[in-house]
Each structure stands twice: as C-alpha cells, then as structure tokens.
Amino acid sequence: MADTPSGDRWVAVCGDTGASPAALAEVEHRLLDLGRRVGATEVATHVVRADGTGHHAGSLRVPAPDGLAGALAGWARPGESVVLSGDDGPDDGGGDVALGDPAHAGHAADVARAHRARTSGRLVRFPGQDGLPDRFPLAELTTRCAVEAVHLLGVADDPALVLRTRGHVRPEFRDGVLVLVVNAWDDREVCPFEPPVQRECCADH
C-alpha cells in the first residue's frame, strides 16, 4: 500500500449524473480538466448506488491545497455536491469545505473517503501514466508507474507476457492496492480489460 504524504487533499464531486457511458465520459472530461488546473496527481471515477439507481462520481488527489477552495468555487454544476477533504477525512473539523448542492454531500464525502483509503476508484490519471509505451513487458508495469499489481483474467501467468496498452490504462483500487485487470490480446500479449471506447460525450471536446 502506498504511503499518504501529509498535506494531501481529496476533492470529490457527486450529482445525479446517471449511469450511462456518456455520463461517465462527461464526468471524466470535467475531472481531468479540473485536475490539470489544480495539479492533481490522481483522478478517479466511482459508481454511487442510491435509491435503487446508480450514478457516476469523481475524486481527485491534490498535493498542494493552497488556493484549492478558490479553484473549486463555482465549479460545481446545479445539483452537484463538492467536498474538499483533508488527511483525516471530511468529518475531522479541520477546515474541510462542502460546496454546491447539499443533497449529494454525503455521497461526495463517501467518495473522498474511499479514494483516500484506496478501497474503490477507477483511476483515469495516475503517476507514470504518460510515460507508458504502447507495448512493453507486463512484468515492468509496476516499476514504470503507480500500478502495484496485475490481475490476469483468463490468462495463465507467464513471465514473457507483453502488455499492449492501446493508449488506455485504467487501474482500480482494491483493498488498498492499485490493480490493473488484463485479459488476452494476442499470442503472449495481454491488454487492459477496459477497452479504449470513444464515448458519445467526447465528440464535442
């Protein structure tokens, strides 16, 4: 499990976005844009299940909190809740900030806790991501980036396996470990289980 540097902050946003692929793409687009502006080291998406339905939420890990609350002011859309969480969580009373619609503040706080504890979250931005080539030995993955473990799906373990990233690597937190799930691609090649699908939201971005 990776260490948590003191002073990091977690930003979580939650609203009634729906659970469609287009909704997920829109959440990703907005989070990545915000992440670039505030210097986030990790950007993650989450599925929140409430009232028998599901919707997408997002979270960011930001190492330098100075000015972060100001950057978030006005960022939330109508119906969205944004929570800025410190090292001890949204309930520590240490200056945490809740913005936007309070209706989803509880869910946003849960998402922030999950990211901080590394119990859930699908990462769309993580350290080392940009340096990953399209094709390299799978055994090198954990030394090239923040991914800590690989889960082989329907593939026998083989030290000669090659990872074909296809420019789309989306690991997820499982029990405190950042894991990439891979499946078969070609002879002795594997690829991330999640395919690089172009979702309809991104057509205009």
CATH class of 9-125: alpha beta
Beta bridge partners of 152: 182
CA–CA separation, 176 vs 170, rounded Å?
16
Q: What is the pTM of this model?
A: 0.87
Task: Quick: pLDDT tens for 78-102.
Answer: 888 899 888 654 444 444 668 888 8
Confidence at residue 6, expressed as pLDDT on a 0 to 100 scale: 59
Task: Quick: pLDDT tens for 139-177.
Answer: 999 999 999 999 999 999 999 999 999 999 999 999 999
- Count Cα atoms within 13 angstroms, Cβ side, for 24: 16
Q: Cα–Cα distances in Å, from 185 out to 40, 141, 155, 160, 182?
A: 32, 16, 10, 14, 9
Q: Please, what's the b/e burial string for 144-157 (b: 16 or more CB within 10 A of its CB; e: otherwise)?
A: ebebbebeeeebee
Pure H helices in the chain: 21-38, 68-72, 105-117, 141-144
Q: What percent of the chain has pLDDT over 70?
A: 86
Cα 134 from chain centroid (whole Å): 21
- By mean pLDDT, which of 51-55, 118-122, 126-130 is the weakest? 51-55
* C-alpha torsion sign, points 205, 78, 70, 3: negative
Domain range summary for the chain, segments of one domain joined by +: 9-125, 129-192
